[in-house]
Amino acid sequence: MAPWIAFTLLAALMQTVRTAGQKRMAGSLSPMAATTARYLFGLPFAVAYLLLFASDEPVSATRAALGSIRFIGYAALAGLAQILATYWLIRLLTLRNFAIGTVFSKTEVILTAVLGSIFFAASLPGAGWIAVLVGTAGVLMLAAPSNSLKLEPHSLTLGLLAGLGFALTALWLRAASISLQGSPVEAAAVTLVCTVALQSLVCVVYLAWAERQQLARLARELPLGLFIGVTSVLGSIGWYTAMTYQEAALVRALGQIELIFALLLGRFWFGERLSPREIAGLALVTACVVTLLLL
């Protein structure tokens, strides 16, 4: 199995678990405070991963990265884009009618492919484009609401903004990581630590300035915050490393396997029935995954 595939599977699994915790936390915290938890509680684990597993000389590798203007620029852009995308996605979760917006947030993969080919010279093979398109169709089919809902401009805007934010995050993260020397694992780990440190700083400063009362609430959520932090870092290790090995669009397309995990878990663990639409969507996502595995 290619390394990027293994790391993507790890990322997809951890993202499924982390999202469940973040949804729970979103009920007691503001969207920005819930966003902060992902980075602030995850930072110690990201540093530990770099120091203990990812590099023989982590200090010198980090110093070299911080001396590169190109790396700092891409990492900063990626970090800010991810903060905004996560914030918009969590705001979607707080809306009464968020289903339509969530559908449009799933345009992330196709946006990554299109923006990557136009602005990042990230060309995909023909089979790669087919996989991206088929997978996107399957995800949209799975995410579409089962009943007729009114198209609300606010939900639609938040969904599209989240999708665009995550697409730019993936592209800028890859650009930052491949600009570094060293192995893909080390480069990804250095990028992860630098990005998460920046994100933690930005989020905490914002909360201290605009939502100070949320800091105390965040402290009371320490057990859940640590769970989110660990799963977030494990997922980020997967995403960052996979995107250092492979084009971001293909990584994100394969990452849609998380929907298969969720549906199969619901079917065989909780006894939930799949509708014909869900079965069709699952088949399309599976076809996407199989195509990518055969590339």
- Indicate if the pLDDT at residue 149 is higher than 60: no
Instruction: Say if CB 50 and CB 193 are below 8 A apart.
Output: yes
- Indicate if the pLDDT at residue 132 is higher than 60: yes
Q: What's the DSSP call for residue 50?
A: I
Report how far residue 81's alpha carbon sits from residue 239's, in angstroms, rounded to the nearest whole number.
15
Name the domain count of the chain. Answer: 1
Distances (CA, A) of 247 to 208, 231, 243: 37, 23, 6
Distances (CA, A) of 219 to 57, 222, 223, 225, 230: 33, 5, 9, 9, 16
Closest of 179, 191, 182, 242 to residue 82, by C-alpha: 191
pLDDT tens digits, one per residue of 36-62: 998 999 999 999 999 999 999 999 999
pTM more than 0.85: yes
Boundaries of domain holding 82: 3-294
pLDDT tens digits, one per residue of 100-127: 656 677 789 999 999 999 999 888 889 9
Helix or strand run (H / E) with residue 29: none
Helices (H), the chain: 3-26, 31-40, 43-49, 58-66, 69-93, 99-105, 108-119, 126-143, 153-178, 184-210, 212-220, 222-245, 248-255, 257-268, 276-294
